[in-house]
Amino acid sequence: MKQRRFALDKAVFGMQRDGLMMILNQLSSVRIICFEGNKVVIVYNLDKVNATQIELALFKAGALMNSVWIERLKRYLVHNIEKREHNKLADY
């Protein structure tokens, strides 16, 4: 099992939260979805789904909910990529 934490600039509530849960639960290997303030924690079977598939599901959820949510997710993904690149540079 793998756990990923996605940070948003604001917490997700109500219909947005329900929509996100519905779409993520369509991925057969997602086991647990928790909301902790502005973070979404997803536990999933790494053998059956990968991070790219989860990110696509999150974008799908954002498209159904509204464009503001998509922008928040994009900012997180860019930040996460830059953080990984920075960590790789530090390893050299």
Specify the higher pLDDT residue, 74 or 39: 39
Q: Quick count: other Cβ atoms within 10 Å of Cβ 84?
A: 10
Cα 7 to its chain centre, rounded Å, is 8
pLDDT band at 9 (very low <50, low <70, confident <90, very high): low
Structure tokens belonging to residue 10: 């604001």
pLDDT for position 21: 85
pLDDT band at 43 (very low <50, low <70, confident <90, very high): very high
* CATH among 3.40.980.10, 3.30.70.100, 3.60.10.10, 3.40.630.30 for 2-91: 3.30.70.100
Domain boundaries defined on the chain: 2-91
